[in-house]
Amino acid sequence: EVARTCERYAVRRLPFGRLEDGDVAFFERLMPGRVLSGEEEVKPFNVDWLKSVRGCSQLVLKPRTTAEVSQVLRYCHERNLAVNPQGGNTGLVGGSVPVFDEIILSTALMNEIISFDKVSGILVCQAGCVLERLNEFVEERGFVMPLDLGAKGSCHIGGNVATNAGGLRLLRYGSLRGTVLGLEVVLADGSALDCLTSLRKDNTGYDLKQLFIGSEGTLGVITAVSILCPQKPKAVNVAFLGCQSFAKVLETFTTCRAMLGEILSAFEFMDEKCMELVESHLKLSSPVADSPFYVLIETSGSNSTHDEEKLNNFLEQAVASGLVTDGTVATDDKKIKAKPLGLYGFLCSSIPQVLWSLRERITEALTHEGYVYKYDISLPVEKLYHLVTDIRARLGPSAKNVVGYGHLGDGNLHLNITAESYSHSLLEAIEPFVYEWTARCSGSVSAEHGLGFKKKQFIGYSKPRRAVLLMQQLKAMLDPKGILNPYKTLPSAP
């Protein structure tokens, strides 16, 4: 796809230096045993998780320290060698792999936890720490990470911050722009910027860390993160419900937010096509059958009796008013229970993780469908599913499946269109229609996945020309040679 997209948008290799034997020798002296140059060794780092984009890097570097990253970038800056920072390589927009022959700078070995304050809940760690490992670490100390993603088993916290990943806990804990307290970043010329504060209040000058959160590795390489972790909730409940229309989903959300208030931690939705794919490709079983829409609600709080009472009152209201037709509930104590659900049946027990897997593994199920066109959109909540129905009508039988799911509580739709294989004519039927539709609703063409390589040319649908120009000026100031993750995030500067 990279070759096709390069041709379509006239992307050509910029005049960076070419890798020479002397360069490899320098890096091998700097970090012996942590330089990969064999074709088979490098191959996995050149391909994204979706296997939809592929670069042709000849070198992977694995530093362990910020000092090593500084030396690498200082050398690359002097030699005009382009660099592709890479974390867990779980991105979905082609931002984490090279486009041409950029050197891959992997943070995989930068995985040390530096400190944790058990009073404030502030964690300081290197950028290569895997999110799931961090969550396990802080959970043992009575806290949780403020973000949760389907890719938590392999994504790195540095990559999460670099893409401003949203995920499943944003409704409760907000975005990384609020929970990240400080960063350590190495700039393009190799100079290290130490803004690794652990203060919740620091109103001295410009908040420089915000430049790098969501910058997708184009302004600097994040090497360490200071992040505020909330206390682990003592009581967690998950409800998985069926709704007969998207209008009912919206009413359920309104009722849910009003009745659950401070304990509501997630509100996810998916359509019946999503559930069909999860069941057929992953052999997972839905506890709720034959529903056009499904809703997953999570509550988390400090008092199980209080939380269960609030959840039960909400469910009784939802059933009595016809918003919900069937459902199941799970509690974190994993006890086998059965509770009546009004006149519509009963709530049967289940483990929360089992219910969450029905939502979290949709992306995985889609990969079994062939080629996937993925769109990550923010829209006014009342219009969220209209885009799915409009795209479905527009494409008709030319698409294998058109599905919609996402974080309803955040107004974030994941629109996915599948086909047996890549089709240029199908792509032209989707783009720029999907972005024009989004722009008309004052939405965002990238809610949480970033722009990367695949979406950078569409930034103008969400940001005014003056804003894009200012971004390009910031890029030119911080990375005058343009060596950091080139061809990504921003359109070429005029």
398 part of a folded domain: yes
65 part of a folded domain: yes
64 part of a folded domain: yes
Q: Are residues 343 and 399 in the same domain?
A: no
pLDDT in the model for residue 344? 36
Q: Are residues 258 and 332 in the same domain?
A: yes
Cα–chain center distance at 244: 29
Q: Are residues 299 and 221 in the same domain?
A: no
Instruction: Count CB neighbours of 343 within 10 A.
Output: 7
Omega before 432 within 30 of 0, i.e. cis: yes
Q: What is the DSSP string of 278-336?
A: HHHHH----SS-S-SEEEEEEEEES-HHHHHHHHHHHHHHHHHTTS-SEEEEEETT---
Amino acid letter, residue 416 = N
What percent of the chain is predicted at pLDDT more than 90?
79
Q: Are residues 146 and 65 in the same domain?
A: no
Of 315, 349, 383, the one marking the end of a domain is: 349
pLDDT in the model for residue 5? 55
CATH number of the domain at 329, please. 3.30.70.2190
Q: Is pLDDT of 461 > 60? A: yes
> Structure tokens of 92?
């979905």
Q: Are residues 193 and 289 in the same domain?
A: no
Looking at residues 77-106, what average pLDDT do you find?
96
Of 160, 193, 228, the one marking the end of a domain is: 228
In tens, the pLDDT along 291-345 reads 999 999 999 999 889 999 999 999 999 999 999 998 888 886 543 233 434 433 4
Looking at residues 360-367, what average pLDDT do you find?
91
Cα–chain center distance at 14: 29
Q: Name the pLDDT band for 199 (thresholds 50, 70, 90).
A: confident
Q: Name the pLDDT band for 76 (thresholds 50, 70, 90).
A: very high
Q: Are residues 51 and 74 in the same domain?
A: yes
pLDDT in the model for residue 52? 83
Q: Name the pLDDT band for 349 (thresholds 50, 70, 90).
A: very low
pLDDT in the model for residue 336? 28
Tracing tokens 């796809």 back to the chain, one arrives at 1
pLDDT in the model for residue 494? 56
220 part of a folded domain: yes
pLDDT in the model for residue 167? 85
477 part of a folded domain: no
Calculated CA dihedral for residues 12, 16, 21, 22, nearest 10 degrees: -170
Those residues with Cβ within 8 angstroms of residue 27's Cβ, 6 or more apart along the chain or in another chain: 35, 59, 61, 72, 75
Of 213, 228, 243, the one marking the end of a domain is: 228
Q: Are residues 120 and 96 in the same domain?
A: no
Q: Are residues 255 and 221 in the same domain?
A: no
Looking at residues 402-415, what average pLDDT do you find?
94
Q: Is pLDDT of 197 > 80? A: yes
Q: Are residues 104 and 11 in the same domain?
A: yes
pLDDT in the model for residue 354? 81
Those residues with Cβ within 8 angstroms of residue 67's Cβ, 6 or more apart along the chain or in another chain: none
Number of domains in the chain: 4
In tens, the pLDDT along 143-183 reads 999 999 888 999 999 999 999 998 888 888 899 999 999 99
CATH number of the domain at 434, please. 3.30.70.2740
List % helix, strand, coil for the chain (3-state, nearest 5).
35, 20, 40
Looking at residues 77-81, what average pLDDT do you find?
98
pLDDT in the model for residue 166? 87
CATH number of the domain at 43, please. 3.30.43.10
359 part of a folded domain: no
Looking at residues 47-53, what average pLDDT do you find?
86
Amino acid letter, residue 421 = S
Q: Are residues 128 and 201 in the same domain?
A: yes
490 part of a folded domain: no
CATH number of the domain at 140, please. 3.30.465.10
471 part of a folded domain: no
Q: What does the mean pLDDT of the chain come to? A: 91
Domain that holds residue 303: 235-349
d(CA 85, CA 328): 43
pLDDT in the model for residue 479? 97
Please give the model's pTM, rounded to 2 decimal places: 0.90
Q: Are residues 322 and 299 in the same domain?
A: yes
Q: Is pLDDT of 124 > 90? A: yes
Q: Is pLDDT of 4 > 70? A: no
